[in-house]
Amino acid sequence: MTYKISVIIPVYNVEDYLAQCMESVVNQTLDEIEIICINDGSKDSSKEILETYQAKDKRIILVNKANGGYGAACNTGLSLARGEYISIIEPDDFIDVNMFEDLYTLAKKNNADIVKSAFYEYKDGRDGNPPYNEKNNWSAQYKMPETVFKIQDFPQFLYFHPSIWSCIYKKSFLESIKISFKEAKGAGWVDNPFQVQTMCMAEKIFYTDNAYYHYRLTNPTSSSNIVNIANPFDRSHEIYNFMQKNNINNPDLLAHLYKREFSYAGIVLSGVSENLLDFAAEKINEMFSRMDSKIIYENNFITEYERFVFETCRSKNGVEMLMKNLQSNTSAVPVVSME
């Protein structure tokens, strides 16, 4: 079979959600897909669940490997993929059955390197709160593209949630830019540089405001939960090196990346403990020192509050003040999850 899409599913200890994810993938209306499941050293019943599905569907490839983290698992999947396009699905999420058929149709119609869709933020009610499944509201806040575009034309995509799982990527495009994931421990926020690099290098991106992907917010072991507070700042450094290496210095692009990095600082300081404050202050100051202050003060996309944060975080006392403010008043600064 010639595969139109290779679906990569990196799996680690997700027994509570994996069957729902697999059902949504194997029942896609687009039949010509291969499903590459990377069991990344799971210690629960995830391996057995995958074996059950593999026994019923010849399109499933199951790779069992020692735990190497999300990035290493995705790289294994990329090395095996034979499809014209690539999709990466996280195993605690699920998708509508027509996602791949619709995105592939758009990809072929527009000869796109990347097709990106809107997505749903999903809560299953297991945390005691009411279930929730609402479409993200980018199109309510920003003018969105209606035809193929390059990132310079719509730089807001560098500020939006990376959501690499709401995309399909042309395999030949990924190969041409020699893209791979950083192989950090755990999840490691490695989707952030992958998203920036692919968006910046793509010649033809297509966005659809139709939503297909249900991004679970109620998994306590989700990759969006920060285990190592160095992760956002390490990924920021890698993105900065990429931008420098490729001479990408468009002020609007950088302003949108800076806004993302202000969110990094906010996410960390909203939950950091006192004993890690010195380390957080050092990392934040290092990240802010790479920013072009002219863009900070002259680009209208940067808010007055963000300029205040930029100035305040240049000292440990300022970082401590902002931490206390954020932890006592969660509405003090708009903070969005970046994984």
Q: What is the pLDDT of residue 220?
A: 56
Phi, psi of 253 (to 5 degrees): -60, -45
For the record, the structure tokens of 149 come out as 């575009």
Q: How far apart are CA 6 and CA 267, in angstroms?
A: 33
Question: 5-216 falls under which CATH superfamily?
Answer: Spore Coat Polysaccharide Biosynthesis Protein SpsA; Chain A (3.90.550.10)
CB 233 within 8 Å of CB 286: yes
Task: Report the half-sphere exposure of 145 (CA within 13 A, side-chain side).
Answer: 19
Instruction: Supply the pLDDT for residue 171.
Output: 98
Cβ pair 9, 35 in contact under 8 A: yes
Taking alpha carbons only, the member of 134, 156, 132, 131 closest to residue 143 is 156
Is residue 99 within 8 Å of residue 28, measured between CB atoms?
yes
Q: How far apart are CA 120 and CA 129, in angstroms?
A: 17
Q: How does pLDDT run across 204-256, given as a tens digit for each residue?
A: 999 999 999 999 998 655 444 456 889 999 999 999 999 999 999 999 999 99
Assess contact for 10 and 91: CB atoms under 8 A: yes
Strand partners of residue 115 = 168, 206
**pLDDT, tens digit, 9 for 90 and up, residues 46-62:** 999 999 999 999 999 99
Closest CA to 155 of 22, 14, 249, 230: 249
Contact (Cβ atoms closer than 8 angstroms) between residue 252 and residue 299 = yes
DSSP 108: H
d(CA 318, CA 332) in angstroms, rounded, equals 15
Token readout for 14 is 């997700």
Would you kindly state where each structural domain of the chain is located, as residue ranges? 5-216, 230-328
Q: Which pTM was predicted?
A: 0.93
pLDDT of residue 331: 47
**Residue ranges in the chain modelled with pLDDT below 50:** 222-225, 331-339
- Residue 8 has what pLDDT? 98
Q: What is the pLDDT of residue 148?
A: 98
Residue 43 burial (10 A CB sphere; 0-12, 13-18, 19+): exposed
In the numeric block, which tokens belong to residue 90? 């996280």
Question: Cα–chain-centroid distance for residue 229?
Answer: 17
Q: What is the largest CA-CA distance in the chain?
A: 62
DSSP classification of residue 149: B
Output the pLDDT for position 218. 82
CA distance 98 to 250: 37
Q: What is the pLDDT of residue 335?
A: 41
Q: What share of the chain is helix, strand, coil (3-state, %, to 5)?
A: 45, 15, 40
Three-class secondary structure of residue 62 per DSSP: strand
CA 4 centroid distance within chain: 23
Residue 75 burial (C-beta neighbours within 10 Å; 0-12, 13-18, 19+):
buried
**Quick check: helix, strand or coil at residue 218?**
coil
List C-alpha distances in Å: 228 to 34, 212, 231, 235.
33, 31, 6, 12
Could you tell me if residue 213 is left (phi over 0), alpha (psi between -120 and 50 degrees) or otherwise beta?
A: beta
Query: How long a stretch of residues is the chain?
Result: 339
| Interatomic CA distance for residues 19 and 189, integer angstroms | 25
Contact by Cβ (8 Å): 39, 11: yes
Element (H, E) at 307: helix 304-312
